[in-house]
Amino acid sequence: MNGFSTGEEDSRDVQQICCLLDGDIRCRKIAGNASYSKRVQKTVAQRRLKLMIDSNAHHTYICDFHKSRIQCARTKRRRKDSEDDSNETDTDLPEVDLYSLQVNTLRRYKRHYKVPTRPGLNKAQLADQIMKHFKTIPIKEKEIITYFIYMVRSNSNKLDQKNGIGNDTT
């Protein structure tokens, strides 16, 4: 080891860049540990994302930016071709990205709301099951927003009231 590069550098010492072409431009971000698998390729094709693997890349690892972009595309609901023709009432609701939550958080939600699932689900499957349940919860927007504004203005929350802590104690 004389400190000079011989061209045969250990692959662990060199950080790889993302293997994807975004449009026709090669991504220059550092690749993470997420792989551009067949399942991910299928999601990209279904969602018509303009991503493809660069044929010059010698690996299949993608950056965190593209990973989150693909995950967000997976959670978004398919919309009808004509927005005027849509009979669905919930197409204008914002999507909640449950895939970014930790598995323990998803499990706590499942346990709290008693969401029926089969054992041994991975994170994506568990998030899908919880998303189905989450969309069935009725929401009274006006009441929720009013309560939220009240709580912000009074500088308190429901948990403080349960624990006997009010905004008059210091």
Number of domains within the chain: 2
Tell me the per-residue pLDDT of 22-67, one tens digit each, with 9 for 90 and over.
Answer: 888 888 898 888 888 888 888 888 888 888 888 888 888 899 888 8
Domain with 128 in it: 96-156
My answer on whether 104 and 59 are in the same domain is: no
52-87 in b/e form (b: 16+ CB < 10 A) is bbeeebeeebbbeebbebbbeebbeeeeeeeeeeee
Q: Is 10 domain-assigned? A: no
- Give the torsion through C-alpha atoms of 143, 78, 44, 125, to 10 deg: 60
Residue with tokens 């203005």: 153
Q: What is the CATH number of the domain that holds 32?
A: 3.40.1800.30
My answer on whether 69 and 112 are in the same domain is: no
Q: Is 82 domain-assigned? A: no
> How many Cβ atoms are within 10 Å of 27's Cβ, its own excluded?
19
Q: Is 4 domain-assigned? A: no
My answer on whether 69 and 31 are in the same domain is: yes
pTM of the model: 0.38
My answer on whether 36 and 69 are in the same domain is: yes
Tell me the per-residue pLDDT of 68-106, one tens digit each, with 9 for 90 and over.
Answer: 888 877 765 554 444 444 444 444 556 677 888 889 999
Tell me the per-residue pLDDT of 121-139, one tens digit each, with 9 for 90 and over.
Answer: 888 889 888 888 888 888 8
My answer on whether 72 and 100 are in the same domain is: no
Q: Is 86 domain-assigned? A: no
Q: Is 44 domain-assigned? A: yes
Q: Is 145 domain-assigned? A: yes
Q: Is 131 domain-assigned? A: yes
My answer on whether 69 and 111 are in the same domain is: no
My answer on whether 109 and 62 are in the same domain is: no
Q: Is 162 domain-assigned? A: no
Q: How confident is the model at residue 140 (pLDDT cuts 50, 70, 90)?
A: confident
